[in-house]
Every structure is written in structure tokens, then in C-alpha cells.
Amino acid sequence: DAKTTQPTSMDCAEGRAANLPCNHSTISGNEYVYWYRQIHSQGPQYIIHGLKNNETNEMASLIITEDRKSSTLILPHATLRDTAVYYCIVRASSGAGSYQLTFGKGTKLSVIP
Amino acid sequence: NAGVTQTPKFRILKIGQSMTLQCTQDMNHNYMYWYRQDPGMGLKLIYYSVGAGITDKGEVPNGYNVSRSTTEDFPLRLELAAPSQTSVYFCASSPTSGNIQYFGAGTRLSVL
């Protein structure tokens, strides 16, 4: 799996967009970018994933650069409930031979009232 | 839908005791997983199952056992609990071997 680099922590004002960056310069052609988050004391929660096109769902948007070496998760209108640790994971779409999701240290997002 | 349900939420064990952590999912997912998360650390895979009757070891299986008699249930058994097993345990499921996994709320276990 490609290595990812994320900032340790970020702050965002409530109601503003939260933009969380992730660098994955060694990503392979068949690897997707996945985002999960873990709210304090809860299980991780899947947010979104993508290969090369930008993606949007009800929770967030994912912007992947053209060279695929970095991506940004966007929470369009952050609320206090979005305070969590956000993990960027790069993996091939099939988990054959390895089913473990590797969660690094992630980015601690604090949404400020 | 309830999703992935874990019981109990909290438990304190004495060294040498045994217990079973329960996990059930109502999404008809074939794949199920058990992870542990130590304080300030990432998740480590203990065991996983690709379907009823099929289980396999993950990264840290020692001291644990699992069974998968039905699609819905994937219990984790701790035999002879040790302080090193103090952790938060998460169960997860996924419809395929892909990387979208759905997690339960966790079981916080202390072994004293």
C-alpha cells in the first residue's frame, strides 16, 4: 500500500468548509484513495473514495489531483459533530491477500464554534 | 438498519478469565473483521472471515479465537485474558473484499 502523509491537526470554524489534505506521491495506478473518520470513542466511519475523478456524496467531496499524488477531502459546511480524526488510506480496490485497513495517525480536525 | 452491533460496550476482566465479545451484522455482508485499537494507535487486524465457516488470522491473532457459524455473527473469544489485551475492540463488515468496511461502536476491555 502507498504511504500517505497528513497534517497532524487542523482547526475549522463552524459553518465553513474544512479542507483536509493528503499526500500519496507513491500511489500506483490501481490504487484508490479512501477516507475514513473516527469520532472520539466510536468506530471508524467510511466517508468517500475515488480513483482519479473527483467524487461527491452526501457527506463530503474528494478532489484528486491530475497526477494523483495528492488529494483533498472537503466537508462543505463543517459542524461541531465533524470534530474527529480523519484518515486517508490508499489501497487497491480488491483486498485479496490483505484485508486489513491500515490507519495511520490521521488528521485531528477540531471544529470551533 | 442496525448495521454492526457489538456487545458488551464495556467489560473488566481479571487476569486469566475468559470471555466472548459478540458481533452481529444485519447487512448480509460476507466479510467480517475484528480489530483492536490501543490508546493513540491505529487499528490492528486480529481475525477476519470471508464467509460462514471460513476464518483466517490477521496481524495479531495470538490469544484470540473466532468462529463464523452464520453470516450474521462473528464472535471473538479471549482465553486466559492478559493485561496486554486491554484495548478497544472493533468489529467490522463489508459486502466484498473491497475496502469499504462498516464498523461497530466498539467494546472497551480492561484486563486487571
What average pLDDT score do residues A86-98 get?
Answer: 74
What average pLDDT score do residues B21-31 get?
Answer: 96
| Distance, CA of B22 to CA of A12 (rounded, Å) | 38
CB of B31 less than 8 A from some CB of A: yes
Name every chain B residue with its beta carbon within 8 A of the beta carbon of A49. Answer: 99-100
The pLDDT of residue A95 is 52
DSSP state of A5: B
What average pLDDT score do residues B25-35 get?
Answer: 94
Share of chain A above pLDDT 70, in %: 91
For residue B1, pLDDT over 70 is answered with no
Is the model more confident about A100 or about A109? A109
pLDDT bin (cut points 50, 70, 90) of residue A1 is low
Neighbours of A69 (CB within 10 A): 13
**Cα separation values, B1 from B26, B34, B57, Å:** 7, 21, 29
The pLDDT of residue B43 is 87
What average pLDDT score do residues B56-76 get?
Answer: 95
Task: Quote the mean pLDDT of chain B.
Answer: 93
Distance from the Cα of residue B15 to its chain's centroid: 20
| Distance, CA of A10 to CA of A8 (rounded, Å) | 7
For residue A75, pLDDT over 90 is answered with yes
By the 8 A CB rule, do A60 and A73 touch? yes
39-58 in A: which are within 8 Å (CB) of B?
Answer: 41-46, 49
pLDDT bin (cut points 50, 70, 90) of residue B96 is confident
Q: DSSP assignment of B71-110, as one string?
A: SSB--EEE-S--GGG-EEEEEEEESSSSS--EE---EEEE
The pLDDT of residue A48 is 96
The pLDDT of residue A94 is 60
CB of A89 less than 8 A from some CB of B: yes
Asked if B43's CB is within 8 angstroms of A99's CB, the reply is no
